[in-house]
Copies of this chain bind each other. A is one copy, B any other.
Amino acid sequence: MTPDLTQNCFRALADPTRRDIVRLLAETNMTIGQLTDQFDMTRAAVKKHLTVLSDGGLITVTAKGRERFNSLNPQGMAPVLSWLEYFDTYWDDHLAALKTAIEKDKK
């Protein structure tokens, strides 16, 4: 139970492996074993990343027999989105340029 969810959420997303895990879990719920198959590291390392993601409120775990399925909590992104919203007014001035930048990035 960590108090500062915003900090934990930003911290969770600051690692490329964890961002990859988030994307994988957006596709399918997976066990640690299945996730470990997708990376070049040990199960213990993946487990640590999952703990950080859990502290950030980004994933939840559901036990099923001896397996534990990790699933994405889409609402976990809320702290990040909320923080970014602060710049809405600031962005109004630059919104056109920003939109253009994002569109370019897509392609």
Binding site for B on A (CB under 8 A): 4, 7, 10-11, 13-14, 16, 19, 23, 26, 72, 74-75, 77-87, 90-91, 94, 97-98, 101-102, 105-106
Contact = CB atoms under 8 A, between A and B. Distances in A.
A10 B13 CA distance: 7
A25 to B, nearest CB: 10
B87 A102 contact: no
Contacts of A23: 86
Contacts of A26: 86-87, 90
Q: How many copies does the complex hold?
A: 2
Contacts of A10: 10, 13-14, 19
A90 B25 CA distance: 11
